[in-house]
Amino acid sequence: MTAALKQHLCGVAEVEQDRLGNAWAYAGGPDTRGVALIAHADQIGFIVTDVDDRGFVCMERVGEAFGDLLPGRELVVHASSGPVHGVVGRTPRDLVVPEELDKVADVRDQWLDIGARTREEALEVLRIGDPVTFVPRFLRLKNGLLASPALDDRAGLYVVLRAFEEWVGAGGQRGDTGHENRVAVVATAREETGFLGARALARLLACEVAIVVDVIFASDDPGVSSRRAGGRVELGKGPVIARGTASAEHLVRLAEGVAEEKHIPFQLRAAAGLAGTDADEMLTAHGCSVLSVSIPLRYMHSAMEVVAEADLEACQGLLVGVIGAWERRRGGA
């Protein structure tokens, strides 16, 4: 992930990293208490726990990757020797006892068939502890919708990187942005397994404003009701600003003003408790105000998630506008 960021930000900013897997880059002036644009870079998936004597690979889930996602699906093991592809197997329905038919098989009760005939043969190409993910794929659907695994939170990471680049580009060249204030772009690790990356960075970044961009359940498909989802959220109607415990009210008002001024569509969602994102950790940072912004997403934590390209562009414009408005209020534009 760090290598990818370095390649992406080459000529824009120097990328730093820590041992947890977090990566970040700064640009701007000497005032370190600036703005941090934050999105997580990890994804749900699985991990190799064992291989049986016949070469079938056993797995455990990492994050909210549940067993109903798996039967008959292709997965890829990210082994040191290279990618190892396999198909998830489980007992055929015709052979399942009646009382078990409607039960979802746990990940531990399924297996990955990589074609190996023995445990030794499988362990020649993979190791215990290797990560396993859905196969990368990208689809353009009708009406500007995009589908891919891990849009939670590749969508957010894309947006914060684009916004950071635009902000830097508006001020000048690398190392001389023309801005007195400092902006950081941050790709956190381990959000899906407990927010550990953001917890570490909450103290290190020492930012005045943290804008955390993640995804949020859309309520516009047949499987989700707005009441169950906590409010109406639709693809194509703009990023979602959390109003309540997950955001500082003055930043919500600032973001709303920017959106109205620049004619950027946005949606509001009530935050009644924890955000369930890295925003929860950033809220603990001393002297830091948090704005929680989300991208509407269908089919969260599944093998193919869906977003609207228009929402990504609107979110990018909102972030750049909020940074600019914050700078003007601070007197450092």
Each residue's pLDDT, cut to its tens digit, for the chain (333 residues) gives 667 777 778 777 888 899 999 999 988 876 667 899 999 999 999 999 999 999 999 999 999 998 888 989 999 999 999 999 999 997 776 666 776 667 778 899 899 999 999 999 999 999 999 999 999 999 999 999 999 999 999 999 999 999 999 998 875 434 445 567 789 999 999 999 999 999 998 878 878 999 999 999 999 999 888 887 778 999 999 999 999 998 999 999 999 999 999 999 999 999 988 889 999 999 888 889 999 999 999 999 999 999 999 999 999 999 999 999 998 887 644
The candidate with the shortest Cα–Cα distance to 27, out of 19, 35, 39, is 35
Helical (H) or strand (E) element with 250: helix 249-262
What's the rounded Cα separation, in Å, for the pair 132 and 150?
13
> Looking at this protein, which amino acid is placed at residue 135?
V
Partnered with residue 241 across adjacent β-strands are: 268, 293
Q: Note whether 213 and 315 are within 8 A (CB).
A: yes
Asked if the 45-134 domain carries CATH number 2.40.30.40, the reply is yes
DSSP of 200-245: HHHHHS--SEEEEEEEEE---STT--HHHHTS---TTS--EEEEET
Structure token digits, residue 296: 């509407």
In sequence order, the 6+-apart residues with CB closer than 8 A to the CB of 137 are: 147, 148, 149, 304
User: What does the block give as tokens for 329?
Assistant: 């209020």
Write out the residue limits of the CATH 3.40.630.10 domain(s) in the chain.
2-43+150-330
β-strands 209-217, 31-40: how paired?
A: parallel
Can you tell me whether residue 254 is helix, strand or coil? helix
Please tell me what DSSP assigns to residue 295.
E
- Residue 183 · residue 37 · CB < 8 Å: yes
Terminal CA-to-CA distance of the chain, rounded, Å? 32
Rounded distance, CA 95 to CA 35, Å? 58
Instruction: Determine the Cα–Cα distance for residues 64 and 171; give it in Å rounded to an integer.
Output: 41
Q: Give the global pTM.
A: 0.91
The topology (CATH level 3) of 2-43+150-330 is Aminopeptidase (3.40.630)
